A = this chain, B = another copy of it.
């Protein structure tokens, strides 16, 4: 029981600290989802670098990046996207409110990303040609969501 309470205290301190430092609306959800997005982009950097010939193709490294990408795409992020957690509520987010509108098709876009990441996972370790082929749909899945639901950048 003592150990349990010690554990709880530590968890409570960690959570309280996080809340104090970031009390803008949805700050924690936004920080978590952006961090996972950057993680995805780090993996894409490996795969894209090989596809463009900037990084020498290495089957093991490609497979690892594709496995990591798939893990980051399939992790349950549902609690990170509460309605209202868009750019108008907190400018730290670049998500547009229309993402949550009926018929916006966010589910379809998430499925497209899932399928593209799964296809990359199957292809990345088989050779550079397979990786390149899988890169197209993956880039489109990224941009499908970014173009529709992200604050435009110049």
Residues of A within 8 A of B (CB): 3-12, 14-15, 17-18, 28-29, 31-39, 41-42, 44-45, 48, 51-52, 64, 67-68, 71-72, 75-76, 79-80, 132-133, 135-140, 142-143, 146, 153
CB distance from A18 to the nearest CB of B (A): 6
Main secondary structure of the interface of A (DSSP, over half): helix
Cβ-neighbour of A79 out of B17, B42, B67 (below 8 A)? B42
Could you say which of B18, B64, B137 contacts A3, with CB atoms under 8 Å apart? B137
Top 9 closest A-B pairs, CB basis?
A35-B35, A7-B139, A10-B143, A3-B136, A4-B136, A7-B136, A32-B39, A32-B38, A10-B139
